[in-house]
């Protein structure tokens, strides 16, 4: 245990020695480093984030430089969320928010100390992972495996996440994967498309309303934030949200409170907010379409999804996966892919990304004619290349 507060070290020692854990303590990062070089390697290090001198983040970096396999749990205050995210990026296994009790400490230690079975290892190697609502995450390239690792880092840290990517790249899939991998996995996940409804309707959908709030509001109705309490909400196309609503959302992010339309009661909620957009964020801030303060609130952790044209080696596996799922959904026999079809798909630019690829497979299953699909791809190829170049320029490269 590494903490500059003797009372905290004493408290943790009491909790741990009840279960016969052998406990060693250090009052500073420098002392912890010295002991790691000299003494046997501990099973877990409990490391405070805020310490004078060598702080928790720099201590973590140096501990893992000495022993890359060392399991470290960060001890943080509620206000340390950005530093916790950075610690997870640097390789921390988990975190605890002060003050914590024995049950919380025991749960984190179980997570760190549980043996890795062969089955668990095989799950880690699996390229396809169900995320719910008939969606799956396909990690068939190093880029997507890296994104899966980022999800693992951020899922257990209860901070907002901003998911960036062109339309159709799978931003909802990543959001669902974060939810599934988090401590809120057994709670509700909701998606709200901010571009799909007018401002007044979007506001009532998110925050709910009381009778008389507007014409036709004859009874009270809870909004998505209330319905999703203790769960995760995805605000898709956040860049399309009107500025006035962005201000109200900022208040929810800051205080976890809001009022229904026409209501005077303040409602407290515990909701994890994920946001997704396909816009150029910097341009949207410059044009005042996106509030800068909201962006920095949402941007505690950012995941950028590459377009399909930058991960073409995944296309054969994606085709096979979509064929299996779609043919089963439509009660059809799976259809084969010729080498000519595979080559055409790999060489096509896919301006609509994964969504377009899935729709091509769907159309193939319905029509049952590969030649027709090939002809359609050839006809679209020149314009698709132009569209993908335009999308790349729009997203900043």
pLDDT in tens, 326-368: 999 999 999 999 999 999 999 999 999 999 999 999 999 999 9
The pLDDT of residue 385 is: 54
The pLDDT of residue 387 is: 60
* CATH T-level topology, domain 6-113: Rossmann fold (3.40.50)
More confident residue, 108 or 338: 338
- Continuous segment of H or E residues that includes residue 254: helix 243-255
Is the alpha carbon torsion for 113, 114, 116, 121 positive or negative? negative
Parts of the chain belonging to CATH 1.10.8: 308-394
Max mean pLDDT among 37-46, 193-202, 359-368 falls in 359-368
Parts of the chain belonging to CATH 3.40.50.300: 128-304
> Which phi-psi region, left, alpha or beta, contains residue 73 (left: φ > 0; alpha: ψ -120 to 50)?
beta
pLDDT category, 395, cuts 50, 70, 90? low
* CATH T-level topology, domain 308-394: Helicase, Ruva Protein; domain 3 (1.10.8)
- Continuous segment of H or E residues that includes residue 180: helix 171-180
The pTM is what?
0.75
Contact 136, 130 (CB under 8 A): yes
The pLDDT of residue 136 is: 93
pLDDT in tens, 313-330: 999 999 999 999 999 999
Q: Which residues contact 323 (CB under 8 A, 6 or more apart)?
A: 334, 335, 337, 361, 364, 365
Parts of the chain belonging to CATH 3.40.50.2300: 6-113
58, pLDDT greater than 50 = yes
Under CATH, domain 128-304 is a member of which superfamily?
P-loop containing nucleotide triphosphate hydrolases (3.40.50.300)
| pLDDT more than 70, % of the chain | 92
Average of per-residue pLDDT values in the chain: 88
Contact 205, 196 (CB under 8 A): no
The pLDDT of residue 311 is: 94
The pLDDT of residue 294 is: 94
SS3 11: helix
């Amino acid at each position: 245990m590494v903490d500059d507060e003797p009372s905290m070290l004493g408290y943790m020692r009491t909790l741990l020695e009840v279960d016969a854990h052998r406990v060693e303590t250090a009052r500073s990062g420098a002392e912890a480093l010295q002991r790691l070089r000299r003494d046997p390697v501990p099973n877990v290090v409990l490391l405070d984030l805020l310490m004078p001198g060598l702080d928790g983040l720099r201590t973590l970096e140096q501990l893992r430089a000495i022993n890359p396999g060392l399991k470290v749990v960060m001890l943080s205050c509620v206000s340390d969320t950005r530093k916790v995210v950075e610690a997870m990026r640097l390789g921390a296994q988990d975190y605890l928010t002060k003050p914590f009790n024995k049950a919380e400490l025991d749960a984190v230690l179980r997570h760190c100390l549980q043996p890795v079975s062969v089955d668990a290892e095989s799950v880690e190697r699996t390229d396809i992972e169900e995320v719910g609502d008939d969606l799956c995450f396909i990690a068939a390239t190093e880029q997507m495996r890296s994104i899966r690792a980022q999800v693992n880092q951020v899922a257990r840290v209860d901070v907002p996440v901003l998911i960036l990517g062109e339309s159709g790249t799978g931003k909802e899939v990543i959001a669902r994967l974060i939810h599934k991998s988090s401590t809120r996995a057994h709670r509700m996940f909701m998606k709200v498309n901010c571009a799909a409804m007018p401002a007044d309707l979007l506001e009532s959908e998110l925050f709910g309303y009381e009778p008389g709030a507007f014409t036709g509001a004859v009874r009270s109705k809870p909004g998505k934030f209330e319905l999703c309490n203790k769960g995760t909400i995805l605000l898709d196309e956040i860049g399309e949200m009107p500025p006035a609503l962005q201000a109200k959302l900022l208040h929810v992010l800051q205080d976890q409170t809001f009022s229904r339309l026409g209501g005077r009661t303040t409602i407290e909620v515990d909701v994890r907010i994920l946001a997704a957009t396909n816009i150029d964020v910097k341009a949207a801030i410059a044009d005042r379409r996106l509030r800068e303060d909201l962006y920095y609130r949402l941007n505690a952790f950012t995941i950028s999804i590459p377009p399909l044209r930058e991960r073409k080696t995944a296309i054969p596996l994606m085709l096979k996966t979509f064929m299996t799922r779609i043919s089963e959904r439509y009660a059809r026999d799976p259809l084969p892919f010729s080498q000519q079809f595979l080559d055409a798909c790999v060489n096509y630019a896919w301006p609509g990304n994964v969504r377009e690829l899935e729709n091509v497979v769907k159309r193939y299953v319905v029509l049952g004619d590969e030649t027709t699909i090939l002809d359609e791809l050839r006809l679209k190829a020149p314009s698709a290349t132009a569209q993908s170049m335009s999308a790349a320029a729009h997203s900043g490269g």
